[in-house]
């Protein structure tokens, strides 16, 4: 390792900056994405193939969202689902969206918080909200075995053809989580991270309602701030010690 006293002041500052950038990169890209704040991506989208975030047997599938903070503990969520089904109809059957576990009573299939998802609307057809714990079953073709989503099923009546827009209000701020969509009889799509909540890849998840209405700083950002301060403090202390030694 190089000793800072061997370099001129400008070179010392450069080395400090380089050390901080390296530390920041390690912290930022190593964070688990699931359940972390999505406040930095209030407008976004995911698409196929799986490397872009979505596993599907449809063509040109995309799910996009726009989330607006409308007041204290008040959020408006809009999701647009689009894609092309090869055969068997084009209508959206249902859309399952991950929510915080404390939003749903999985035993009774009801909301424990009536404001978790409310005022739901669709661009076409009608929608009924069905809270629950969803997993692989006949009504959910291609749902990955061993995975589940505790959340809300937007049960669609009328089977509107894609693209379809679903909107609702919530008292929950956005974090990253899962979704599953069934179109027609056997077409489906879900996020790549549904089978791996330990993923550190941002595109593996979509933004969805969290446990509370407040905006929580993203873990990576908080880690960067703390890590940066610690490293900077350490380097500065070493530099002061080196100057003191040089004077004596």
pLDDT digits (tens, 9 = 90+) for 129-141: 999 999 999 999 9
Lowest-confidence region among 33-37, 39-43, 222-226: 222-226
Instruction: Summarize the confidence of residues 28-37 as an average pLDDT.
Output: 84
d(C-alpha 157, C-alpha 162), whole Å: 14
Cα 3 to the center of its chain, rounded Å: 42
Task: Give Cα separations from 159 to 62, 93, 156 (angstroms).
Answer: 18, 6, 6
Q: Which pLDDT tens digit goes with each residue over 77-120?
A: 999 999 998 776 778 999 999 999 999 999 999 999 999 999 99
**pTM, entire model:** 0.76
Which pLDDT value is given to residue 185? 85
DSSP secondary structure code for residue 210 in this structure: -
Residue closest to 227 by CA, chosen among 37, 6, 25, 13: 25
Q: Is 181 exposed, middle or buried (0-12, 13-18, 19+ CB in 10 A)?
A: buried
For residue 212, the model assigns a pLDDT of: 59
pLDDT given for residue 136 in this prediction: 97
Question: Alpha-carbon Rg of the chain, whole angstroms?
Answer: 23
210, 174 contact by CB (below 8 A): yes
Do 208 and 176 form a contact (C-beta atoms < 8 A)? yes
On whether the CB atoms of residues 47 and 203 are closer than 8 A, the answer is no
The encoded tokens of residue 188 equal 């489906």
pLDDT for 198 beyond 50: yes
User: So what's the pLDDT on residue 9?
Assistant: 57
- Region 174-182: mean pLDDT is 97
């Amino acid at each position: 390792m190089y000793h800072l006293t061997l370099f001129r002041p400008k070179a010392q500052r450069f080395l400090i900056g380089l050390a901080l950038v390296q530390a920041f990169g390690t912290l930022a890209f190593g964070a688990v994405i699931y359940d972390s704040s999505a406040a930095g991506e209030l407008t976004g989208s995911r698409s196929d193939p799986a490397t872009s975030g979505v596993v599907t047997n449809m063509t040109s599938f995309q799910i996009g969202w726009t989330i607006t903070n409308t007041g204290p503990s008040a959020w408006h969520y809009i999701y647009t689902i689009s894609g092309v089904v090869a055969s068997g109809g084009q209508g959206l059957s249902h859309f399952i969206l991950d929510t915080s576990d404390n939003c749903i009573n999985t035993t009774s299939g009801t909301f424990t918080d009536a404001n978790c998802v409310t005022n739901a609307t669709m661009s076409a057809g009608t929608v009924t909200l069905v809270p629950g714990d969803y997993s692989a079953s006949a009504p959910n073709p291609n749902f990955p075995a061993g995975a589940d989503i505790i959340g809300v099923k937007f049960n669609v009546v009328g089977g509107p053809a894609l693209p379809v827009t679903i909107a609702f209000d919530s008292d929950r701020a956005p974090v990253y989580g899962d979704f599953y969509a069934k179109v027609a009889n056997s077409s489906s799509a879900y996020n790549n991270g549904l089978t791996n909540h330990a993923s550190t890849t941002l595109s593996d998840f979509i933004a969805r309602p969290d446990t509370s209405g407040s905006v929580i700083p993203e873990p990576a950002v908080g880690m960067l701030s703390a890590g940066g301060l610690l490293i900077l403090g350490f380097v500065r202390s070493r530099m002061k010690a080196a100057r003191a030694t040089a004077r004596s």
